[in-house]
Amino acid sequence: MSYFFAFFVEGFFVSRFCLSFDILALSVDEIVLTIIIIILMFINIKYIFIGLTLVIVVKWKNMITYYTDGSCSPNPGPGGFSVIKDGFPAIVGYDPSSTNIRMEGKALIATLSDAKDAECQIFTDSQFWINVATNWGNSWEANNWTKKGSPIKNLDIVQELHRLYKKSNAQLIWVRGHNGSPTNELADEWANKAREGKMSGYIN
């Protein structure tokens, strides 16, 4: 009975952390690890905890982490945005005439375009764009891109962000701006650099 229970629990968590994704998209180490922990499970029930830990570590190791930020000074006025990927500046953008909210949205669009369908976490201090991507966008789309009968501001960015997020494997996470997080501060720094230096594109 204990081995049957172990098999059930192990199978559930392996499916949750690995096999819930397209099997063809799994990396070689994930496939090998899944096979190994199933074998270990049959040797001794205690290996279930080792197996679960290894699965979580592997999934965490393979997950991309992004931090994004937008800057506009004055607002409205010249704007810049930045994308920090796994702790390093990766993408910047510039717009000679924009707003802070638009640059925040453009940063997320650039991030999702870079991530494609890869599993990732995206940290942003814009609760507005998180709500657009995860909640409001669905109802606005169902209502033919209107909000209670009135036009939606920044509709070009809203639609593009919504489209990219729907087909992504991204998790959007809100982080308070200027909260002392080194990576969040780095995103803010590079957003200002992009605005001041009129920089756009990938950073080598």
Least trusted range by pLDDT, from 42-51, 82-91, 134-143: 42-51
Tokens of 13: 């968590």
Out of 23-32, 54-63, 71-80, give the one with best mean pLDDT.
71-80
In angstroms, the CA 62 to CA 131 distance is: 26
Instruction: pLDDT band for 5, please (50, 70, 90 cuts).
Output: very low
The model's pTM is 0.73
Active-site annotation holds for 162: no
Choosing from 69, 80, 93, 105, the catalytic residue is 69
**Selected catalytic residue, list 10, 51, 70, 162:** 70
- Concerning whether 178 is annotated as a catalytic residue, the answer is yes
Which tokens belong to 29? 């180490």
Say if CB 83 and CB 105 are below 8 A apart: no
Predicted confidence at residue 58, as pLDDT, reads 52
Active site residue 189: no
Assess whether 188 carries a catalytic annotation. Answer: yes
Which of 9-13, 27-31, 97-101, 187-191 shows the lowest per-residue confidence on average (mean pLDDT)?
Answer: 9-13
Residue 10 annotated to the active site:
no
CA distance 171 to 164: 12
User: Which CATH number is 64-202's, of 1.20.120.850, 3.30.70.260, 3.30.420.10, 3.40.50.1360?
Assistant: 3.30.420.10
pLDDT at 179: 80
Among 104, 105, 137, 162, which one carries the catalytic annotation?
A: 104
Please say if 69 is a catalytic residue. yes
